[in-house]
Amino acid sequence: MDPMQPVLELRRIVRDYPGHRAVDHVSLALEPGEFYSLLGPSGCGKTTTLRIVGGFERPDAGDVLLAGAIVNELKPWQRDVSTVFQNYALFPHLSALGNVEFGLRERGVPGRRDRALRALDLVRLADKRDRRPAQLSGGEKQRVALARSLVLEPKLLLLDEPLAALDPALRKQMRAELKAMQRKTGITFLFVTHDQEEALSMSDKVAVMNRGAIEQFGTPEEVYLRPATRFVAGFLGAINWFGQAGVRPESTRLAREKPEGLPCRRAAVESSLFLGNCVHVNAALDDGGRAIAEIPREQNHFREGEIVWMHWDPAAELRFE
Amino acid sequence: MKGRALGIYAGMAIAFLHAPLAILVAFSFNSGRFTVWQGFSLHWYRAAMLDPQLSEGLINSVVIALFASVISTVIGTMAAYGIWRRSAPVLSGTLYLSLVTPEIVTGVSLLALFEWAFRFLHLQLGLYTVVIAHVAFSIAYVTIVISARLRGYDRTLEEAAMDLGASQWRAFSRVTLPAIAPAIAAAGLLALVVSFDDYVITSLVAGVDSETLPMVIYAMARRGVSPVVNAVSALIVVAFGAIVLISQRLQAR
């Protein structure tokens, strides 16, 4: 096989629901061994796209290719992809080990007990192999679901908001684990999320979706620092709009005196939020808009109601047609 | 004060509900023939066991109930699963219609159907027509019990099974079926009970050689109160009580 052959290729996929178009001519090519995210707000079509790849929904137009072959007509059980579902979808009547063995049995893989045990070992759950899903914590269920898919050694692993049901501390820990797991197994991950921090921190490349279409496909740095559209700029983090120019809060500075030779706006401080490592100063612009400046804690000597100048380096401006 | 009043009220309600059964069971152990207590005896139980009509009725009832419950459970499970997979409001509506249709109407309509069919097939009423009739009215019970279970069942479990390599049928048989098995068993027992219990429809569609236990008891009761009827009824109450208990345990799982 050509090593640079895309693991997955979507060609102008369309999916219509009564009254609206859920997926609107989505094209995407994923290379082997990388971690990809499909990022967008709820209802943007990212889950539908994932279900089309998994074979749970059929595209109304366009082609799905896995390792170069069109698979539009193949059922989920005929595709060399596996899905980690948002609610994990573990089989309640089977033990952790039984869940991991399920796919091996269905696919007739020999030596399934050993393989399943190794997969449980990989997610550090070997000692809980006889537990039923109801006896496992959220994070453990998550790892069983992961082991159940990884044990099949699919070309492509689809993850549908798998961290959404976990509490925040565990979610951050699982980010690192998922990323490490992807590197260790070399399986291509396609991770669906609405959380931009998740997508930016884990992915090699991010596809930002809005209203059924991909607005930008690039590395986390590219989509954050050079967003292709206003939507991407706004979705991937807070942004201040100074006329046509968009400036991230961390690039926005505050001063009492009008700075010389820099673009700036007059504003009144409304409030400042202490965030531990920094402070967010919210200010009302003279033209009626609002803006946020993220400044170091020790520089926060601004009082509420005080008139300040918000300024920025022109190189930090994001501009869109 | 309030608690005691409620307790008395509850006691009276329970007595009102169950006094007839208590009297029936009590007099089934009476050595005399009439409703005057004359001493404890198992005489009427012995008489019931030895009555050829009663045993024939019992055998017919059991055979009919077994066939009818197995067939209606299979059909009802498939119906519930189908309705769950793709919502079918008209079909689910007709289920409730069949529950509220008066038995006499169901019985007469089934009889009309058989009479019409017999014009083409050289057959007559018999045990099998009773089985068909019981299947027809049990399906609704089975489907409703299993549908209730499926309402709380997670759809993505089947998708997960298919994702892992199971065909649609394997996903059903290896994941969904084990999950709803207790409901299927409970529905089967319910079908068994309603089949065994039925008099009105059965008496209309039964052939001359296929009298069921309720029909025999009814005929005996009409000829005059016999303590044999009490004894048989008491046995039925115990057997059915056990079945209902098992069924509830299964549904609670």
Report the alpha-carbon distance of residue B184 to residue B45 in Å, rounded.
34
Phi-psi region of A138 (alpha: psi -120 to 50; beta: other; left: phi over 0): alpha
Report the alpha-carbon distance of residue A97 to residue B20 in Å, rounded.
55
Name the minimum distance, in Å, from the CA of B157 to any CA of chain A: 5
Contacts of A227 (CB under 8 A, 6+ apart): A216, A233, A236, A318, A320
CA-to-CA dists, residue A73 to A45, A63, B51, B130, B167, angstroms: 21, 10, 66, 47, 14
Task: State pLDDT tens for residues A64-80.
Answer: 999 999 999 999 999 99
CA-to-CA dists, residue B6 to A3, B3, B14, B16, B18, angstroms: 80, 5, 12, 15, 18
Q: Which residues of A touch B152 (CB under 8 A)?
A: none
Search chain B and give the residue with CA nearest A82. B163
Name the minimum distance, in Å, from the CA of A139 to any CA of chain B: 18
Contact A25/A213 with Cβ under 8 angstroms?
Answer: yes
> Average pLDDT for consecutive 10-residue bins of chain B (253 residues)?
86 91 86 81 87 91 96 96 86 85 93 92 88 94 93 92 94 93 92 92 89 91 82 89 84 70
Name the pairing type of β-strands A213-218 and A205-210. antiparallel
Low-confidence ranges of chain A (pLDDT < 50): none
Per-residue model confidence (pLDDT) at position B207? 84
Q: Which residues of B touch A148 (CB under 8 A)?
A: 164
Report the alpha-carbon distance of residue B158 to residue B2 in Å, rounded.
52
CA-to-CA dists, residue B139 to A267, B76, B121, angstroms: 73, 5, 25
Q: Which residues of A touch B170 (CB under 8 A)?
A: 106
Contact B135/B68 with Cβ under 8 angstroms?
Answer: yes
Task: State pLDDT tens for residues B6-62.
Answer: 999 999 999 999 888 888 888 888 888 777 888 888 888 888 888 888 899 999 999
Contact B159/A89 with Cβ under 8 angstroms?
Answer: yes
Per-residue model confidence (pLDDT) at position A2? 59
Per-residue model confidence (pLDDT) at position A28? 96
Tell me which of B158, B162, B164, B253 to substitute to probe the interface with A (most A C-beta atoms closer than 10 Å).
Answer: B164
| Element at A236 (helix H, strand E) | none
Structure tokens at A172: 């951050």
Domains and CATH numbers, chain B: 1-41 (no CATH), 52-252 (1.10.3720.10)
Interchain contact, B160 vs A91, CB within 8 Å = yes
Q: Which residues of B touch A75 (CB under 8 A)?
A: 162, 167-168
Per-residue model confidence (pLDDT) at position A3? 61
A228 contact B CB<8A: no
Cα-Cα-Cα-Cα dihedral sign, residues A110, A114, A118, A120: positive
Among candidate residues B210, B184, B213, the one with its CA nearest the CA of residue B199: B213
Alpha helices in chain B (DSSP H): 2-28, 43-50, 52-85, 89-100, 103-118, 127-151, 156-163, 168-171, 177-197, 200-205, 213-222, 227-252
Interchain contact, A106 vs B179, CB within 8 Å = no
Cα-Cα-Cα-Cα dihedral sign, residues B64, B70, B74, B79: positive
Cα-Cα-Cα-Cα dihedral sign, residues B184, B185, B189, B195: positive
* A103: nearest CB among B156, B165, B168: B165
Strand positions, DSSP E, A197-299 = 205-210, 213-218, 240-242, 245-247, 253-255, 264-274, 279-285, 290-295
Alpha helices in chain A (DSSP H): 46-54, 96-106, 112-122, 138-150, 168-185, 196-202, 220-225, 230-235
Per-residue model confidence (pLDDT) at position A158? 97
Domains and CATH numbers, chain A: 8-231 (3.40.50.300), 238-319 (2.40.50.140)
Per-residue model confidence (pLDDT) at position B1? 63
Per-residue model confidence (pLDDT) at position B35? 74
ipTM, two decimals, is 0.84
Contact A150/A157 with Cβ under 8 angstroms?
Answer: yes
Main-chain phi, psi angles of A256, to 5 degrees: -80, -35
Per-residue model confidence (pLDDT) at position B247? 79
Name the pairing type of β-strands A8-17 and A61-66. antiparallel
- The predicted model scores a pTM of 0.81
Q: How does DSSP assign B15-84, residue by residue?
A: HHHHHHHHHHHHHHTBSSSSSS---B--HHHHHHHH-HHHHHHHHHHHHHHHHHHHHHHHHHHHHHHHHH
Per-residue model confidence (pLDDT) at position B156? 92
